[in-house]
Structure 1
Amino acid sequence: MAKNKMRLQIITPMKTILDEEVDSVILSTTEGEMGILYDHEPVVVLLGYKTLSYTQDEVKKYATTLGGFAEITKDKIVVLTDASEFADEIDLERAKRAKERAEKRLSDSNMDHLRAEIALKKAIARINLKEGK
């Protein structure tokens, strides 16, 4: 591994999304954003339904993290998440329809509100990444 680089792994139940060396990472945790550089103090954090960004050879890249957690060590970050996507993998119209369905379910008293809230958070994370927010 190159000096002052970290290995970033993004793993979902279905597959490994990313396994590469990076310069820095910004995670959206349940407590707020967290910047990580090489030689970070070891910690485990809970992830929100948001966007992870990382810098690789001076190029900033983004992916969604839809829940889960990250284990951070001196030279490695392992993200275990329910789902993760890069912007070019997201169908914006589909994400907008999912958001509308989730909002409709939240207004229906007969629906499972927890599932609807999670679906809404996932849709918003996808839309925000695709629209660059």
Structure 2
Amino acid sequence: MADNDQLQVELVAADRTVWSGQATMVVAKTAEGDIGVLRDHMPVLSLLVDGVVEIVAVDGDRLFAAVEGGFLSVANNRVSVLSQYAALSHEIDVTAARAELEAAASDTEDGDERAKRAEARIRAVEKAS
């Protein structure tokens, strides 16, 4: 694939760089709705919501990551996904995420937020399967 078809992508959590490399497309869920980013996309700075980010690497592999909020920045064929928490699908313990989802159902204080985060982790794994 020619360099002129690529995006430089960084997926960064608070504690580490989760993934960095060349990609042809990034799809994320923002506060305004889903966004797909290809080469030469107009500059964007947007809030992410809990959900799944999809990255199509230049070799054709599709990577799925669960993110808990954060920011998406697009400029000059560079995409930065910055989140407090982010994990690639193969790093996620689905059993723990399902247990958290069940526990969140009985939590009246922050159960909705915990449930959204657990659901995002489960969706990331399901999409990668």
TM-score by length of structure 1 reads: 0.87
Q: CA deviation at 1:116?
A: 2.4
Structure 1's unaligned 5+ residue stretches are: 107-111
1:4-43 aligned at under 5 Å gives the runs 4-43=5-44
2:62 paired with 1:67 = no
State the AA in 2 paired with 1:18: W
Larger radius of gyration: 1
2:72–2:79 CA contact under 8 A, matched in 1: yes
1:51-130 aligned at under 5 Å gives the runs 51-56=52-57, 57-106=59-108, 112=109, 115-130=110-125
Mapped to 1, the partners of 2:98 and 2:66 lie a distance apart of 16
Q: How many corresponding residue pairs? A: 126
Structure 2's unaligned 5+ residue stretches are: none
Q: CA deviation at 1:59?
A: 2.2
State the AA in 2 paired with 1:90: I
2:26–2:36 CA contact under 8 A, matched in 1: yes
Identity %: 25
RMSD: 1.6
Q: Which of the pair is proportionally richer in strand?
A: 2
2:64–2:125 CA contact under 8 A, matched in 1: no
Moved over 2 A (4+): none
Mapped to 1, the partners of 2:23 and 2:9 lie a distance apart of 7
